[in-house]
Amino acid sequence: MSNRSSLSLVAATVLFSCSAFSAPPQGYPADYQSVIDGATKEGKVVIYSTTDTKAAGPLIKGFEAAYPGIKVEYNDMNSTELYNRFISEQASGGTSGDVVWSSSMDTGLKLATDYAQEYQSPELPQLPKWAVWKNRAYGTTYEPVVIIYNKRLIPAGDVPDSHAALAKLIASQTDKFKSKVTTYDIEKSGLGFMLSVQDAKADPHYFTTLADVAKGGLAVQSSTGTMMERVSSGENLIGFNILGSYAEARAKTDPSLGIAYPKDYMLVLSRVSFISQQAQNSHAAKLWLDYVLSEKGQSILANQSDIPSLRNDIEGKNDIDGLTKMAGNALKPIPVDETLLEYLQPKKRLDYIKQWRAAAGK
C-alpha cells in the first residue's frame, strides 16, 4: 500500500471514529448526524465573541469534549471591535468568524440582519419567543443589569434599591461621590450605548435621573472589568448598568464588591448569536450554536461560567425560573427584534449621544 493510501485510510478511520463517538443529542432529528459528520470534516469553528475567554472556557471545553473532532478558535473582542472587524472582513471577502456572539444586542442584531443565515435550531422549542429573531438571531443568556458598590465605603443603609434611589443618594452627597460614580462610556462601548437607550425606553424620567446621578461627576469606562476593579479598590464608590453575570462571578472572591438589584426595573440582556451566511465551517457553526442553546451548554454557562441561562429547566437558581423567583416583575428582558435597531440610524444615534452627554455633564 502506498504512503498516500495509508494516510487516506488513517484520515478516514479518524473521521469515522469521531463521527461514531458523536451521536446526535437525544430528541434531535435523525438527519442531524449529517451536521455532525459535516462539522467533523470541517474540523473547527471560528467564534467572534464579546464574552470573556475565561468565562467562555468551560463552554469551549464542554463542546470539544462532546465533539472531539472539532476545535474551537475563539476570538474575544469588545463589541465595537467585533462589529467593525466583521463588517470589514465581509466586505473584503476574506476569512472571518463562522459565528458571532455579542453582548451588544443592537449591533449584534444589525450584523444578523445583513449577514446571518437562517437556521432553525432543534433547541427552538425550549427558548422564549422574545429571544429568537426570524430563526436567524438567537438570544443565548438572561443577564440582569445591576448596580455595584464598595461594601467597605458605602453603608448598608445607603445602598440604593432603585434607579431613583441611586440618583437621590448621589445628589444628596455630591462631595462624597465627586468623580466616584462609574458607568459605560456610551461613545466607546456598543453595549453601554444599547443599555442607555433601553434605560430611556424603560424610564420616562431617565435623563433627569441621569443628571442627578452625574451631579458628582461620572467616571466613564469602556469595560465592565475596569469598572468592577475601580469600585473594588475604592477609586470609585458605585457603578451602574453593570452586567450582573460578571459582578456575581467577581463577588464570589471579592469581599469588597457589593451588588444591588434595582426593584423599579431591571434590564435583562441576552447575548445575541448568529451563523454567518459566509461561514466556512457552517456545519460546525450549527453544532456550536445548538450546543450553546442546549440544556448541557446552558447548564455550563449558568453553573460554571456564572452567566444566567435563558432556559427554565437548568439545575440551580441561575436561570429564568430562579431569577424570576428572586426579582419577579422587575425583570425587563430586552427582546431580540427590530426595535433594537432604531437608535443605530446615524442621526438618531448622534442626537441621543448629545442628549446623554448634556445630562451626564460630558
Return the ∠ at Cα 166 (arms to 244 and 325), rounded to 5°.
45
State the pLDDT at residue 323: 94
Is there a contact between 231 and 151 (Cβ–Cβ < 8 Å)? no
CB atoms within 10 A of CB 207: 17
State the pLDDT at residue 41: 97
* Sequential DSSP letters for 164-205: HHHHHHHHH-TTTTTT-EEEE-TTT-HHHHHHHHHHHHH-TT
Domains of the chain, each with CATH number or no CATH: 3-141+271-318 (3.40.190.10), 143-268+340-360 (3.40.190.10)
Digit-coded pLDDT (tens) for 175-217:
999 999 999 999 988 889 999 999 999 999 999 999 999 988 8
- Give me the helix-helix angle, 244-251 and 224-233, nearest 10°: 40
Q: Is the pLDDT of residue 18 over 80?
A: no
Digit-coded pLDDT (tens) for 243-267:
999 999 999 999 999 999 999 999 9
The dihedrals phi and psi of 178, each to the nearest 5 degrees, come to -60, 115
Digit-coded pLDDT (tens) for 116-161:
999 999 999 999 999 999 999 999 999 999 999 999 999 999 999 9
Which three-class secondary structure state does DSSP give residue 127? coil
The dihedrals phi and psi of 36, each to the nearest 5 degrees, come to -65, -45
Question: Residue 74: which of 47, 50, 96 has the closest Cα?
Answer: 47
Q: Quick one: CA torsion of 160, 307, 112, 130, rounded to 10 degrees?
A: -70
